[in-house]
Structure 1
Amino acid sequence: MFEIGDVVIYSEHGLCKIDDICKKDLFGETRLYYVLHPLGEQTLKISTPVDGKKKRIMRTLNREEALELMDVFGKPGIDWVDDPKHRARAYQALVQSGDRQKIAEVAGALMDKKLNTDQKIYDQDRRILTHVQSILFRELSMALGISIEEVADQVEERILAVTPQ
């Protein structure tokens, strides 16, 4: 169980700080809830059951884990799915899995396509990429002690280094 003050990853909100842990009565049932807010959004408060199954709360990466995850961007990633609808479903499913390596591979595939082709990427690709970058790069930034921009630059360098010329 997490504690008040912990910074965690929560669903699509990314990095969140736990402000409180309290009991709440809903529909005649008393449960324990985390009260948290996304970092950078002090006004948004989120309550989620401590034993919740629908939305996953994960601990943040430590420095060693972040460095290992950065290595994902220096290797060939997941296969590109040519059909845009199938790609969107497949990549979104990987992102929703919460598996950071798979999420990094999705980001790598989309960034590779964006950086190394003359074609524009589809809107759904751009939305997935923007979402992944905002959450994953912020977490990597915190774990590595560098700016989000530095994370993005390092990721781009790694992707460009593995792209066949």
Structure 2
Amino acid sequence: MFQIGDYIVYGTSGVCRVEKIGPVDLPDVSKDKLYYTLSPVRNPGGHIYTPVDNQRVVMRPILTEDETEQLMKALPDIAPLTISDEKTVEVLYKHSLSSCDSVRWVQVIKTIHQRKQSRLKAGKKITAVDDRYMRIAKDNLYGELAVVLHKKPDEISSYIRERAGGSAEAAQ
């Protein structure tokens, strides 16, 4: 069970701070059930209410500084996703993002970066699906790393580039 003040990753909502734990005063909600009241970091005025025992949405603690360091070292070796069918690419992105796994987020970013470069060489623009999921993956990854590293989300891309030895693909 998380504690008040903990930072967690909550599904595709990204990093949230646990504000309260207890029953919530909402219509049609049991007063006997414990809920987390979460405040999304990228939407500080918003609140998310979720049962403590929620099994439908992935909730996990944010990475530690050591885990972040390990992720940075592993960046060059993280392979992009394998897309076998263009028709299912969005499902693959959704599944990867909803896993709340930072390595999967990096895979999505690398995959879309490669696809974007390939399309640009062919004189085409990035697809709307790729653009949308790149933004979501970056928001999730950069948001988490920003909290762990005590940086602003817009500083994370350059931080990753430095840590990955200039590998632009990892930070894009």
Bigger drift between 111-120 and 98-107 goes to 111-120
CA gap 1:28/1:62 in 2 versus in 1, 3 angstroms: closer
1:108: Cα distance to partner?
1.5
Do structure 1's residue 108 and structure 2's residue 113 form an aligned pair? no
Distance of 1:79 and 1:35 partners within structure 2 = 34
1:139: Cα distance to partner?
0.8
Distance of 2:29 and 2:119 partners within structure 1 = 53
1:160: Cα distance to partner?
4.5
Q: Name the SS of the counterpart of 1:61 in structure 2.
A: coil
Q: Which runs of 4+ in 1 moved over 6 A?
A: none
1:135 to 136, 140, 151: 140
* Cα deviation 1:35-85 (Å, max 9, x = unaligned): 111114232111100001111221011111112222343125134426432
* Cα deviation 1:2-52 (Å, max 9, x = unaligned): 111111111121111111111248465721100111114232111100001
Do structure 1's residue 11 and structure 2's residue 20 form an aligned pair? no
More strand by share: 1
Structure 2 unaligned spans of 5+: none
Match of 2:101 in 1: 99
Distance of 1:28 and 1:3 partners within structure 2 = 21
Q: Name the SS of the counterpart of 2:49 in structure 1.
A: strand
Distance of 1:147 and 1:27 partners within structure 2 = 37
Count of residues in Structure 1 that have an aligned counterpart in Structure 2: 161
Distance of 2:84 and 2:160 partners within structure 1 = 23
Structure 1 unaligned spans of 5+: none
Bigger drift between 123-132 and 94-103 goes to 94-103
Distance of 1:115 and 1:150 partners within structure 2 = 23
Do structure 1's residue 146 and structure 2's residue 113 form an aligned pair? no
CA gap 1:133/1:44 in 2 versus in 1, 3 angstroms: same
